[in-house]
Amino acid sequence: MHPILFEVGGLSVYGYGAMLAIAFAVGVWGLTREGKRAGLSEDRLFEMVIWIMIAAILGSRILYILLELPRYLADPITVFHVRSGGLSFHGGLIAGIAVGIWYSRRHNMPPGKVADLVAPFLMLGYGIVRIGCLLNGCCFGRRSDVAWALPASYVDDALRHPTQLYAFLASMLIFAVLMWRRNKTRFDGQLFLEFILYYSIYRFVVEHFREVSAYAGFLTLGQAVSLIGAVGAFVAIRIWPLGRKA
């Protein structure tokens, strides 16, 4: 853990914020580069990313608060405390998809094609942000005595599964697969559905090693949502493709 990277003139530069900024910059660069090759406006894509990022941050925070509502009702001021974590990727994904579809349709860009361009760099950005989680000490794993266990939690110095690193490595693998698959799809939107499928599988597995408090029966809430996402994406790809290419 290293929440503060360095200080300049009394201003602290936080690791999580720095990784978020790097993820945004890398994602925008990759998306506009691929978009230009696909004949889409770089300016439109950049503006769309700004809207999606705002929506994703708000959506991820709102869903997290709803999932932990009793705790926030007991101490409402903690709604504004994000130092100890408090962002749900699923909430950000849902909000980001909604805004992306709205923006694409408003500016006459094919949503499926745009989603396919976004998918690899969304996964890349996700992986970079997970390094920020490791620096911040959030999204940590269960206590463990495995050889690679790390003191990866802001709550204590116990050795734990470094689930942030698991997430980073899985993200890089999924990013590579999506880049390899980007010209091998049958219809616009398929690559984004594959992103949801691969992410859901990874998340289902890694949830076993994470320290979580929200459960849906014998599954964690993250596993339940991931299972729904994986099945839904698989069915959409195999049975109900949205808008086949001509």
Question: Which tens digit of pLDDT belongs to each residue from 55-100?
Answer: 988 888 888 778 777 776 777 776 666 555 567 788 888 999 999 9
Q: What number of other Cβ atoms are within 10 A of residue 57's Cβ?
A: 17
Are 14 and 5 spatial neighbours (Cβ–Cβ below 8 Å)?
Answer: yes
Q: What number of other Cβ atoms are within 10 A of residue 51's Cβ?
A: 14
Q: What is the pLDDT of residue 246?
A: 44
Distance from the Cα of residue 47 to its chain's centroid: 19
CA distances from 84 to 12, 87, 127, 133, 138 (A): 17, 10, 19, 10, 6
Tens of each residue's pLDDT in the chain, 246 residues: 677 887 888 788 888 889 989 999 998 999 999 998 888 998 999 999 999 989 988 888 888 778 777 776 777 776 666 555 567 788 888 999 999 999 999 999 999 999 999 999 999 999 999 999 999 888 899 999 999 999 988 888 999 999 999 999 999 999 999 999 998 998 899 999 999 999 999 999 999 999 887 777 788 888 999 999 999 999 999 886 554 554
Alpha-carbon torsion angle 194, 200, 201, 202, nearest 10: 110
Binding-site residue ranges: 130
3-state SS assignment for residue 13: strand
pTM recorded for the entire structure: 0.86
Sign of CA dihedral 90, 92, 98, 101: negative
Q: What number of other Cβ atoms are within 10 A of residue 232's Cβ?
A: 15
What average pLDDT is seen over the chain?
A: 87
CA distances from 99 to 54, 59, 83, 108, 111 (A): 10, 11, 26, 14, 11
CA–CA distance, 158 with 165 (Å, rounded to integer): 16
